Amino acid sequence: MDRFVSSFTNRLDAKGRVSIPASFRAVMARDGFEGLYVHPSLEAEALDAGGNGLLAEIDSLIDRLPPFSDERDHFSTALYGISEVLKVDPEGRVGLTETLKAHAGIVDAVTFVGLGHKFQIWEPTAFQRHLDEARRKVRDLRKDLGALRPGSPSGARER
């Protein structure tokens, strides 16, 4: 599989390193990116991480914006300017910098969350709150989508 899936919680060791889940390391190895590309998430108190797949998505987003525009500069700054490429040691561990840990509120443990082309790194309690909210929103969305009649014009509700 070439996607990051599932979630795993691991503790930081005495040197502040954390083991990347083996299934995530396997996806990274197939991706061919040396190290781990990480940036603070734009929408959550978490870290977005990955390799060439994540970088391709960022490149695609930024390439759609007009050259020399404020929007392009803002996205470039937020997604490249404060990003880090972390070294993964032979045991599959990575050391998160203090800046990254501060953004996500990480102290002694992290939860790795697969999102397909990338994964996120969360403080475990914050991730549980995020997961609870995501599940609630998905349940509400399913109800809304289920109320639409198949083959009816968009927005027509079942009566």
* pLDDT for 159: 46
Measured CA to CA in angstroms, residue 155 lies from 148, 150, 159 at distances of 7, 11, 12
pTM of the predicted protein model: 0.88
Q: Tens-of-pLDDT digits for all 159 residues of the chain?
A: 799 999 999 999 999 999 999 999 999 999 999 999 999 999 999 999 999 999 999 999 999 999 999 999 999 999 999 999 999 999 999 999 999 999 999 999 999 999 999 999 999 999 999 999 999 999 999 888 886 656 645 555 544
Residue 76: CB atoms within 10 Å: 14
pLDDT tens digits for range 99-139: 999 999 999 999 999 999 999 999 999 999 999 999 999 99
Complete domains list, the chain, with CATH: 7-123 (3.40.1550.20)
